[in-house]
Amino acid sequence: PRLKALLDALSRRDGHDGYLEMLRGAFLEEGRSGRKTDDPGVEPWKVLSYRELEVLELLAERLTDKEIAARLNVTPGAIKKRTRKIYRALDAGDRREAVARALARGILKTGSY
């Protein structure tokens, strides 16, 4: 628990990298259940990883994959992979639908974007 808290705190700082996210992922159960966010009683953070929630927020800002990749210091290919996971979790066909579903389910807050 202490290490998870430390990793969470470090991930909120600017300049974190993919390795840190990999370490965080080892401590999280998120994204491994295969359940969708509209399943009863499933909280979004149990379906979407922290990084996927970050990408979803940037999708809501209408950034391109390249722009998101630059902000998160990863490759555009990594963003494409994350967005596919987000689409599956939200049962969405594209980024607009994913954002709309996330807003409707309270995963993203209205007015923030």
Model pTM score: 0.61
Instruction: Report the 10 Å Cβ neighbour count for 101.
Output: 21
CA atoms within 13 A on the CB side of 52: 26
- DSSP string of 43-90, one letter each residue: -GGGTS-HHHHHHHHHHHTT--HHHHHHHHTS-HHHHHHHHHHHHHHH
Q: What pLDDT tens digit does each residue of the chain (113 aa) get? A: 577 777 777 776 765 566 666 666 665 544 444 445 455 445 555 578 889 999 999 999 999 999 999 999 999 999 999 999 999 988 899 999 999 988 888 888 765 55
SS3 content of the chain, % helix, strand, coil (to 5): 60, 0, 40
